[in-house]
Structures are given as C-alpha cells and as structure tokens.
Amino acid sequence: MDYKWLALCRPGFENELSAEAKELGATTEYTQGSGYVLFELSSKGFTPKPWRLLELKDFIFARQLFMVAARLDLNNEADPIAAIVSKVRQVVKNHHTIKALEAIVAETPDTENMRSVLSEAQLVAQQIADRLGRFGVRFIPGRGAPRLHLFFENDAQAIIGLSSPQLSSPWPMGAARIKLPSEAPSRSARKLEEALSLFISPDEIYTRLKPGMKAVDLGAAPGGWSWTLANRGLVVTAVDNGKLTPEALKTGLVTHLEVDGFTYRPEKRVDWMVCDIVAGGPRVAKLVANWIRRGMCGETIFNLKLGSPAGRLAEVRRAQTLLLKTAKEASVHISLV
C-alpha cells in the first residue's frame, strides 16, 4: 500500500526534510520556502491504523507529521465548511478502526502570508468539530484515538490528515506553546523547555529531572537553561565566561563558574549536561562525544548550530555517527532522540 504523508518544517528546511524522507524510501514533492513536504511511502501489506506507520521522531527537520487522508479544492464549493465536514465523515467511514477522534487541529505552513488563513482556519475547525458532533463523530481526548489535521496549503486548498497524538507533535504545526514567567533570565529558557517536553514524556519528566540531581550547563549565560533546571530542583553548575542574571542565581541552586566550557570537567559524573555554547556544530558534537566517552553525564541535551544550508543534514548525520561510535567504543548505551 502507498500512503501519503505531510511533514511541516521551518520554511527554508524543505530540502533537508525531503532528503530525510528519501532516506526512508519516499518519493517527495515540495516547493522551496513553502514550509512543508508531501511524500509518498510504500508499506508492506495492509495495516489497520496506517497513521501509526511513521513518527515525528523519525525526522530531525520535521515539526509536525501526519498521514494525508484526503485533499480538497474549496474553490468551487458554495459551502466550504459543509464540503470539509462531508469529506471528514467519508474519511472516518473509510477507516473502520476510527471509533472517535482525539481532536481537530487547524494548521497552515508557518509562513508570514498564511497567518490570516491560520486564524480563520482555527475558527473553521471549531465549527467543523461542532457539525461533526451533530453527525455522531465523537471527540475523546487521551484514549489513543487519532487526531484530525485540517491543513490549509493556501486559502482554497485543504488537506485532511490523521496522526497518532503519541507519534506526532502535541502542538499544532509543531510550534511549542510554552509561556515563560517574566522572571526567566532569557528567551533561551523556552528552547530548553521545548526540548524537554518534546524528548521526555510527561510520565517520565519527574523521574528523569528530580530535585537534588546534579546538572552542568555549558554556555550558560545569561542563565535561562540553568534557571529552568534549578526551577525543577536540580543543582546546577553554570559554566560561562559571561555574566548570569540575578534571577538565574536567585534559586540558590546555581553555581557560576567563569571557565571555558570546552575544557571544564566535573569532579564526579553528573545526571545531566546541557550545552548551548555558541560555537560550530562539529566542535559541540566533539565536546558531547568527549562527555559520553568519559561517562561524565547520564543524559544530555545540546544545541547543534548548523552551518551552510547545503550541508545541514550531512552535518547532523556526522554528529549522530560520531556520538554512536563513541558510545559503542566506550561501551556506553545511548539512545539518540
């Protein structure tokens, strides 16, 4: 069976996303700068819930992923909402395993010119959910039902998609909705919060980030990431020659060391090492590999700053290969997410 998929990305990263899909054996179609890639992938035999065949974590450059269930041209529709409702009902009927939907999310490419379409699409999605309810389509959050995606390529072309909430992004368009308290030392704090919620399931977050755990934050100034970890009760060594804000130090759990993050080593293994040093990706990958080789941390989240657009995917793959090889040589088990 062939299945069509749609993956959303940051506009400008379609090439990388398309290359990732091709690595999985897909044929792809996309337009530069569009913010999404459509691809077709064959699967062996019949599968009752095909939207579970792929997951967002299979991709590095995708923000959101769903299986395309139908495409609609609304240009000649007198009542576009009725047309969408009718198509969704058909989709639900065609997939016998669908007993209910988890939710309906409105999405568009993340481009400037689609902002107004998105706000309209959000209103439309609500009306569609109401009308579907009247036709007996139930919405039951949190029970493994598929999520319905209503994606507008433009103001007249819509795609109806299905995803498993566990295997796709919890946020519409994959854009994290993380509100930071005003005392956060930097907007970077949101970056770490987003990574934590993406990489660690809600069931595990309180055991993998526990009060009293030790963390090292490399490239810590002005202190957003240290502040985030300290707010969860971790004891943080913040390494940076730059200054930390008073807010970052206020918890009493953050110790600032004005030393070089590339040569700093903790006296004892720590639970977490996070790194946001502003330096080239390959250098940071080597630094992380060194921490793995020496078994200096249990878990790590790091920011890999990518270089020229032409080599971005290759750069990520080189970093992945280095980290896996290093772990194997050091007999350390790692899982990359």
Active-site residues, by number, are 305
- 331 Rama class: left (phi>0) / alpha (psi -120 to 50) / beta: left
Does 181 engage in binding with ligand SAM (CB under 6 A)?
A: no
Does 302 engage in binding with ligand SAM (CB under 6 A)?
A: no
Does 260 engage in binding with ligand SAM (CB under 6 A)?
A: yes
Cα separation, 6 vs 139, whole angstroms: 23
Does 262 engage in binding with ligand SAM (CB under 6 A)?
A: yes
Does 277 engage in binding with ligand SAM (CB under 6 A)?
A: yes
Q: Are 309 and 9 in contact (CB under 8 A)?
A: no
Using CB under 6 A, pick the residue from 121, 137, 189, 234 that binds ligand SAM: 189
Does 276 engage in binding with ligand SAM (CB under 6 A)?
A: yes
Number of neighbours of residue 285 by Cβ within 10 angstroms? 21
From the centroid of its chain, how far is CA 269?
29
Does 171 engage in binding with ligand SAM (CB under 6 A)?
A: no
Cα separation, 28 vs 233, whole angstroms: 45
The distance of closest approach from Cβ of residue 258 to ligand SAM in the complex, given in angstroms and rounded to an integer, is: 9
Among the listed ranges 7-15, 133-141, 174-182, 275-283, the one in contact with ligand SAM (CB under 6 A) is 275-283
Q: Are 106 and 147 in contact (CB under 8 A)?
A: no
Q: Which is nearer to ligand SAM, 25 or 307 (CB)?
A: 307
Q: At 161, which helix (H) or strand (E)?
A: strand 157-163
Among the listed ranges 4-12, 22-30, 106-114, 182-190, the one in contact with ligand SAM (CB under 6 A) is 182-190
Does 261 engage in binding with ligand SAM (CB under 6 A)?
A: yes
Does 242 engage in binding with ligand SAM (CB under 6 A)?
A: yes
Amino acid identity for residue 258 in this structure? E
Among the listed ranges 60-68, 70-78, 173-181, 259-267, the one in contact with ligand SAM (CB under 6 A) is 259-267
The distance of closest approach from Cβ of residue 261 to ligand SAM in the complex, given in angstroms and rounded to an integer, is: 3
Long-range contacts of 50-55 (CB under 8 A, 24+ apart): 50/1, 50/3, 51/146, 51/161, 51/162, 51/163, 51/164, 51/167, 52/164, 52/167, 53/3, 54/5, 54/24, 54/167, 55/164, 55/167, 55/168
The distance of closest approach from Cβ of residue 131 to ligand SAM in the complex, given in angstroms and rounded to an integer, is: 45
Using CB under 6 A, pick the residue from 222, 256, 271, 301 that binds ligand SAM: 222
Does 240 engage in binding with ligand SAM (CB under 6 A)?
A: yes
Q: Are 146 and 100 in contact (CB under 8 A)?
A: no
Does 239 engage in binding with ligand SAM (CB under 6 A)?
A: yes
Contact footprint for ligand SAM (CB under 6 A): 185-186, 188-189, 218-225, 239-242, 260-262, 276-279
